[in-house]
Structures are given as structure tokens and as C-alpha cells.
């Protein structure tokens, strides 16, 4: 899998995730405004990838608007970047990490953004190792059937992924019987993106509709459920793609381990519980149409929360790049 986001000669190049799988198109981003637009329309998405994009965005802002000579333009760009997606903590976190460096030394901002990108790659490898070991421990040292939601691979993290990195590691070790990605309405990130990545790695998989997941779990179709995270609160409550809460309820009913895989940067100790996480509503159009084709009468109102919050009581464990937090054994962050 190629990197989904890179810096090349003052340009951020990223795979346009809105075009996959029918078209592999690379966007060349040269302004902060274009980057913010790409983030908002989900051309780049996934909490770790958004963090890397935000880091490179600050470096770009520093090059276009020197903070020492054009402070107002630079600060405006930083604020706009920081607020582009409110639920995923990584975006604001990495913007806040690079911005002070840019204010002191604009040239050093790019070097820090490169460091962040490499940290995410190292984290993906480590999460794959730890998550594979935990899955085999909980479900048995045999080829496993893994259910997952949304997209948590290289497209969401720059390279390898979070939950999908675990699936890739299991596949590489001949311990993956089958991946069961959920389609993930309304934008079908599982159907469009995760299946594409699974095809690229040659992993066995079957796509399922979202509403089938709890029933299939109850029928014993999966050994482990793996999800990513956009924000983990201090108590362990986890915000992730809408549908994750229902998946956790189904896992609890079926007594299937429900594991969150996310980098340490996704943990937000300043957010006490899931009740304090802002949930983005993306408006009715994504629900009432699919890629511009209406599926409901014109003017139909809709609720469209992009994320939900799974309470820690339903989560078996959290896997990061440095540790495994076993909630089911009473451990905490």
C-alpha cells in the first residue's frame, strides 16, 4: 500500500478518498484553504491521518504566511485548520503541536510534521503487533474471523492503520480466517475503502451491511470485533464512526471481545467522559442521497451524526502503540 498522504516540494499530495474505489486520484494541495476543504469533504479522513494533515497544514501556513511578518494570516489559517473536524482529537492536537514551533522557526515546522508522519507509521506497526497478540490471546491461537467498521487502514493513518493494521498483521502471520468489514453508512467507508485495502493486501474478506452485524455476531460469525477511534475520553468512553455503539451492544450480547485500536494521540485526558465529546452532524444530504443520487424524496429531513460514543463498560480493551488497557479486568487509562 502506498502512503495515502505525503509532502512533496511545498505540496501536500493525498489520495482522494471520495473517488475510491472506482478511481485512484491524487490531489495536490497547495493552500491551507484547499486542505481545509479536502478535510471537510472527507477527501482525507481518519483521526491519525487528519493529525498528519493538520501538521503539514501548519507547515504550509508558515511558508505561505510567515508568522513573524504576517501573524494575523498565519493565526487565521491555524484556527481554520484546527476547527475543520471537531470530533477527531488528533487534528487539533497536531496543529497545536506544530504551531508553536512555526511561530519560533517557520522552517522547523516542516521537520516536525515529518516527525509526526513517521511516528504514526511506527505506531501503526506497534498497534498491529499488540492487537494481533491480544486477539489471539482472547479468541485462541488459530485463524480468526474479525469484524470491523468504517476504514482504519493506511487511508486513515498514512500507512498500515489502526484496527486494520491488526487485521493486516494477522493476515501476514497466517492467522486471519476472514475479515468482515461493515459497509458503514452513510458514506460507505467500509464498502468503498476497507474492501479496497483488503484487496490490496490479498486478505480474505466478505462485506456485510451495517444492520446485519449484531445478528451475525449472535450467530457466531466473528471471533473478535476491532474498531478504531476518533477520540478516547479519560474514562475510556470512545467516539468512533456511527454504528460502533450498536456493534458494541451486539458484541456484548454474543460475548465477543470488542477491542478499540487507536494511537496514544487519540486519548484526550482533558475530556472526562463521552458525554463531553462534541458529535459532528454532517447534514441531511449524505443520508438522503448516495453520491448525488437521491434515495429519499426531495426535502426529506434527516439526522446525520457522523460519530457515536461507546461507553467503556462495553469495551473489552484498548490497544495503543505502547500498551494494552484491559478494561474487562478493571484496568483504566
Q: What are the cell numbers at 111?
A: 521537520
Does the structure show a pLDDT above 90 at 124?
Answer: yes
Do 92 and 192 lie in one domain? The reply is no
- Tell whether 266 and 196 lie within a shared domain: yes
Res. 88: pLDDT tops 80: no
Under the banding of pLDDT at 50, 70 and 90, the label for residue 122 is very high
Active site residue ranges = 230
The mean pLDDT value for 228-246 works out to: 97
Confidence of residue 308 (pLDDT cuts 50, 70, 90): very high
Mean pLDDT of all residues in 33-50 = 94
- 302 and 253 in a single domain? The answer is yes
What whole-number percentage of the chain has pLDDT above 90?
94
Domain residues for 290?
Answer: 127-329
Q: Domain boundary residue among 85, 100, 119? A: 119
User: Tens digits of per-residue pLDDT, 205-229?
Assistant: 999 999 999 999 999 999 999 999 9
Of 61, 84, 119, the last residue of a domain is 119
In whole angstroms, how far apart are CA 13 and each of 42, 147, 228?
14, 31, 24
* Same-domain pairing of 49 and 148: no
Distances (CA, A) of 150 to 26, 51, 89, 143: 21, 18, 17, 22
CB atoms under 10 Å from CB of 122, counted, come to: 13
Q: Is the pLDDT of residue 89 over 90?
A: no
Asked whether residue 63 falls in the same domain as residue 131, the answer is: no
Q: Are residues 34 and 143 in the same domain?
A: no
> What's the Rg (C-alpha) of the chain?
19
Same domain, 54 and 21: yes
Find out whether 216 and 147 touch, Cβ atoms under 8 Å: yes
- Please list the residues that pair with 179 across neighbouring strands: 146, 205
pLDDT value for 86: 84
Q: What is the pLDDT of residue 142?
A: 97
Q: Are 83 and 198 in a shared domain?
A: no
Query: Could you tell me the CATH number of the domain that includes residue 26?
Result: 1.20.120.420
Q: Is 178 in the same domain as 42?
A: no
Q: Domain end: 87, 119, 151, which one?
A: 119
Q: In this structure, are 319 and 189 located in the same domain?
A: yes
Specify the number of domains making up the chain: 2
**pLDDT greater than 80 at residue 191:** yes
Q: Can you give the CATH number for the domain in which 194 is found?
A: 3.40.50.10470
The DSSP secondary-structure symbol of 274 reads G
Mean pLDDT along residues 239-258: 98
Res. 1: pLDDT tops 80? no
Please indicate, yes or no, whether residues 176 and 206 belong to a single structural domain of this protein.
Answer: yes
Amino acid at each position: 500500500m502506498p502512503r495515502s498522504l505525503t509532502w512533496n516540494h511545498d505540496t501536500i499530495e493525498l489520495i482522494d478518498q471520495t473517488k475510491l474505489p472506482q478511481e485512484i486520484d491524487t490531489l495536490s494541495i497547495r493552500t491551507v484553504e484547499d486542505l481545509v476543504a479536502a478535510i471537510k469533504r472527507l477527501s482525507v479522513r481518519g483521526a491519525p491521518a487528519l493529525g498528519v494533515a493538520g501538521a503539514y497544514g501548519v507547515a504550509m501556513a508558515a511558508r505561505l504566511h510567515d508568522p513573524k511578518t504576517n501573524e494575523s494570516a498565519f493565526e487565521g489559517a491555524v484556527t481554520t485548520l484546527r476547527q475543520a473536524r471537531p470530533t477527531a482529537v488528533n487534528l487539533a492536537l497536531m496543529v497545536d503541536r506544530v504551531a508553536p514551533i512555526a511561530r519560533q522557526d517557520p522552517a522547523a515546522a516542516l521537520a516536525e510534521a515529518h516527525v509526526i508522519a513517521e511516528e504514526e507509521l511506527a505506531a501503526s506497526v506497534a498497534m498491529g503487533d499488540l492487537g494481533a497478540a491480544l486477539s489471539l490471546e482472547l479468541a485462541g491461537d488459530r485463524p480468526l474471523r474479525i469484524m470491523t467498521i468504517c476504514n482504519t487502514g493506511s487511508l486513515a493513518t498514512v500507512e498500515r492503520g489502526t484496527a486494520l493494521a491488526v487485521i493486516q498483521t494477522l493476515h501476514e502471520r497466517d492467522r486471519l480466517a476472514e475479515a468482515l468489514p461493515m459497509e458503514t453508512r452513510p458514506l460507505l467507508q467500509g464498502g468503498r475503502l476497507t474492501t479496497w485495502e483488503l484487496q490490496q493486501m490479498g486478505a480474505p474478506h466478505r462485506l456485510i451491511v451495517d444492520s446485519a452485524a449484531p445478528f451475525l455476531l449472535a450467530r457466531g460469525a466473528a471471533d473478535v470485533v476491532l474498531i478504531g477511534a476518533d477520540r478516547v475520553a479519560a474514562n475510556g468512553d470512545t467516539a468512533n464512526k456511527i454504528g460502533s455503539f450498536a456493534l458494541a451492544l451486539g458484541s456484548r450480547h454474543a460475548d465477543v471481545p470488542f477491542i478499540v485500536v487507536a494511537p496514544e494521540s487519540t486519548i484526550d485526558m482533558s475530556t472526562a467522559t463521552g458525554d463531553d465529546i462534541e458529535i459532528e452532524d454532517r447534514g441531511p444530504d449524505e443520508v438522503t442521497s448516495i453520491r448525488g443520487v437521491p434515495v429519499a424524496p426531495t426535502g426529506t429531513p434527516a439526522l446525520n451524526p457522523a460519530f457515536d460514543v461507546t461507553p467503556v463498560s462495553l469495551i473489552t480493551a484498548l490497544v495503543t502503540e505502547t500498551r494494552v488497557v484491559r478494561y474487562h479486568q478493571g484496568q483504566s487509562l
